Chain A
Amino acid sequence: MKSVQRTGVIRDYDMHSPSVRIGYGVILLLCVLMVILAVFPLVWVMLAGFKDLKEFVSSTSIFPRSFSPQPFATTWNQLGIAKNYLNSLLFVAGSVVCALIFNGLLGYGIGILKPKGHKIVKRLILLSLLMPTTISIVPLFMNIQNLGLGNSFVPLWLSYGANAMYVILFVQFFESLPRSIIEASRIDGCSQLQTFFRIVLPLSKPICTVIAIFAVNAAWSDFLLPYLVLRGGNLQTVMVRLFVFSTEQTVNADTMMRSVVFSMIPPIILFFIFQKQLTENAVSVGIKG
């Protein structure tokens, strides 16, 4: 019975053949190996965080001499990473809000309202999906400076409101919604905006979740534009700080590894909370996050 449900090339029937069974064993072995490959570097960096500088540079053992959490505490306090966490949190929160509102409304326009001429916008957005944002980072940075928006989160937040990929994900989702519901609400006298907030948005929970997760992850990892915009100021995020460490060498190698650990903890937590949405919903959308 179960075999009907089961996907995969190898069927139950094949498992009677010894060679297929051996092959299946090899497959399992390879899968386990992949898991080790995927996880080992993470385990390693956690272990490395327990080493002091001398040990990190000289020791030829994967394992630290001691598992005292002291080095982590010292790094956390010395570098004042709590402040950077707070900054990152602010940056991420604003970015998610902007990503949902601005891209959502634009997607609503293209996907549902479809006013005259919306196809041009759609094409432009499709085209910009294929242009890396870094490519125009120079003039963008100059524009931000010229508007006097340097050393502020505002331009960074808003930059998440202009993401071609998110717009397209919204459009794809909105187009899959049954037209009848939307038309019904219009007939009931809802304005376009009311329809969006009363009808479309409640139906869009799955896509909003996916985009929110993408945006959280992207904003947390973002550092190039934030580095330029936030310059050396007090608003530096965790990743900007890490980038500064790696380019300006103000911290020791062991401290650097602990900073790496700190920068990875929130995404890992996010991952474990939302792993189902990530590995299922996100993928069904068909675009890499």
Chain B
Amino acid sequence: MRGQKRQWRAKTAENLKSWLIMLPGLILMTFFVWEPLFESIRMSLYKTRNVELVRFIGLDNFISVVSKDDFMQALMNTFSYTFWSLLLGFALPVLLAMLIGETRRGKGFFRTAVYLPNMLPGLAVIILWSAFFSGEKSGVFNILLGQFGVPAQTFLTHADWVIPIIIVIATWKGAGATALIYMAGMASVSPELYEAAAIDGATVWHRIIHILLPSIRKLAGTLLILQIIAVFQIMYEPMVLTKGGPDNASLSLMQLMWQYAFGGSMNYGKASAVAVIVTLILLVMTAIYSYFNRKESDWD
């Protein structure tokens, strides 16, 4: 009895000490991540004047935000970003990984080269690419087109082009790093498996379809969700490249949030309402993610 009690006490002390070690990290997580998330929800329910909560107004901020054209536009745009991101940005890393995986010499060089853009600051990348898509004759693409006798084009004034263009830039930056993750996944296939298949007479194409691609199916599922979540964060890219234009054609939800808060109107309540809506959408994504994740990892 007594021994048990002592043991229990020791265990409690142990637990307490462990929690104490975790405490600084927990305080920071609370301050920087968790509390602001709850604060967002609270603020979204209040009429705000600057940083003060003026009065509780229930869902008025949500109604007001959602009923505006720019919200619907931003929502559609965000789905459009997702669509283009999946179209351009999802398959490309797989392809990259496959191509590099097949090289017999210089693999390290290729890996290094395609990973490089991922290291560059996102903001610098956007500014750099803005010069590529300039409609002036000195724009880099127009210079290149000029070499083939094609007259100068404008890129960023086309409402239908701006989102794909931003995705192209994001893909340029991120595809190489994602490809390396796929390569790691693909490397898990034992080379003997290919050898055996080859001896059995399976063509290269068959081996890709039946051995290589299935090996990365789960990984692809996870990365797909992560990619969608990343796309929902798009904000400074249009802010810097097109300022959301032309006529809100590239305005993203997060950018709309920033505009409400810091774009001159200082409406933190409405900004929070947008943030909460994005959070809700992401929660759905998260549910899907954990569904995929549960199957393959030993978490919990």
Do chains A and B make direct contact within the complex (CB under 8 angstroms)? yes
B-binding residues in A (CB < 8 A): 3-11, 13-14, 20, 23-24, 27-28, 30-31, 34-35, 37-39, 41-42, 44-45, 48, 56-62, 101-103, 105-106, 108-110, 113-116, 118-119, 121-128, 130-140, 142-143, 145-146, 158-159, 161-162, 164, 167, 191-193, 196, 217, 220-221, 223-224, 228, 239, 242-243, 246-247, 253, 256-257, 260, 263-264, 267-268, 270-271, 275, 278-279, 283-284, 286-289
The chain A residue with its CB closest to the CB of B177 is A288
Q: Is the CB of A217 within 8 A of B21?
A: no
**B15-54 with Cβ < 8 A to chain A:** 15-19, 21-22, 24-26, 28-29, 31-37, 39-40, 43, 51
**Cβ contact of A38, chosen from B117, B180, B271, cutoff 8 A:** B117
A196 to B15, CA, bound (A): 15
By beta carbon, the residue of chain A nearest B11 is A116
Known pairs A7-B191, A161-B24, A192-B17; A138 contacts B233 (CB<8 A): no
How far is it, in angstroms, between the C-alpha of A101 and the C-alpha of B115 when the chains are bound? 28
- Residues of chain B whose beta carbon lies under 8 Å from any beta carbon of chain A: 14-19, 21-22, 24-26, 28-29, 31-37, 39-40, 43, 51, 96, 98-104, 106, 108-124, 127-129, 131-132, 136-138, 140, 142-143, 146, 172, 174, 176-178, 180-181, 183-184, 186-187, 189, 191-192, 194-195, 198-199, 204, 207-208, 211-212, 226, 229, 232-233, 235-236, 239-240, 254, 257, 261-262, 268, 271-272, 275, 278-279, 282, 285-286, 289-290, 299-300
Please give, as numbers and ranges, the residues of chain A lying within 8 Å of B142 by CB-CB distance. Answer: 60
Contacts of A242 in B (CB 8 A): 121, 123-124, 127
> Would A288 and B226 be within 8 Å (CB), given that A161-B28, A162-B28 are in contact?
yes
Question: Which DSSP category, helix, strand, loop or mixed, fits chain A's interface?
Answer: helix
Q: Considering only CB atoms, which chain A residue lies closest to B182 in the complex?
A: A283
A220 near B40: Cβ-Cβ < 8 Å: no
Show 16 A/B contacts (Cβ-Cβ < 8 Å), sorted by A: A14-B204, A35-B109, A38-B176, A42-B116, A58-B138, A115-B14, A115-B16, A115-B22, A138-B43, A139-B36, A139-B272, A192-B18, A220-B121, A239-B124, A243-B236, A288-B181
Given A7-B191, A158-B28, A239-B121, residue A105 in contact with residue B22 (CB < 8 A): yes
Asked whether, in the complex, the Cβ of B113 is within 8 Å of the Cβ of A130, the reply is: no
Distance of A268 Cα from B115 Cα, bound (Å): 11
Give the top 5 A-B pairs by smallest Cβ distance, nearest first.
A106-B25, A136-B36, A109-B22, A139-B39, A115-B18
A139 touches B113 (CB 8 A): no
Count the A-B residue pairs with Cβ separation under 8 angstroms: how many?
314
Write the nearest CB–CB distance from B203 to chain A, whole angstroms: 9
| A191, B18: Cα distance in complex, Å | 10
From A30, A142, A257, A271, residue with most partner B Cβ within 10 Å: A142
| Structural contact, A131 and B22, CB atoms closer than 8 A | no
Q: Using A41-B172, A102-B24, A267-B119 as known contacts, say yes or no to A143 and B99 having CB atoms under 8 A apart.
A: no
Task: Give the chain A neighbours of B176 by CB distance below 8 A.
Answer: 38
Whole-angstrom CA separation of A111 from B193 in the bound complex: 35
Residues of A with C-beta under 8 A to B195? 3-4, 11, 13
Question: CB-nearest residue of chain A relative to B208?
Answer: A9
Residue among A145, A223, A288 with the highest chain B CB neighbour number at 10 A: A288
Given the known A-B contacts A113-B18, A279-B112, are A56 and B138 also in contact in the complex, defined by CB atoms under 8 Å?
Answer: yes
User: Could you say which of A27, A37, A140 contacts B99, with CB atoms under 8 Å apart?
Assistant: A27
Which residues in A have their C-beta under 8 angstroms from that of B14? 115, 192
A58-B138, A60-B137, A143-B35 given as contacts; is B21 within 8 A of A108 (CB)?
A: yes
Q: Which of A126, A128, A133, A271 touches B116 (beta carbons < 8 Å)?
A: A271
The distance from the CB of A32 to the nearest CB of chain B, in whole angstroms, is 9
Asked if residues A9 and B212 are in contact (CB atoms below 8 Å), the reply is yes
User: Which of B15, B114, B181, B232 is within 8 Å of A115, CB to CB?
Assistant: B15
Known A57-B136, A267-B119; further 10 A-B contacts with Cβ < 8 A: A3-B195, A8-B103, A38-B117, A109-B25, A162-B28, A268-B119, A268-B120, A278-B115, A288-B177, A288-B178
Question: With A115-B15, A115-B18, A138-B40 in contact, do A6 and B104 touch (Cβ < 8 Å)?
Answer: yes
Q: From residue A282, how far is it (CB to closest CB) to chain B in Å?
A: 8
A25 to chain B, nearest CB (A): 11
Q: Which residues of A have CB within 8 Å of B233?
A: 132, 134-135
Say whether B28 contacts A57, CB under 8 Å: no
Q: Among B22, B33, B109, B192, which residue has its beta carbon within 8 angstroms of that of A136?
A: B33
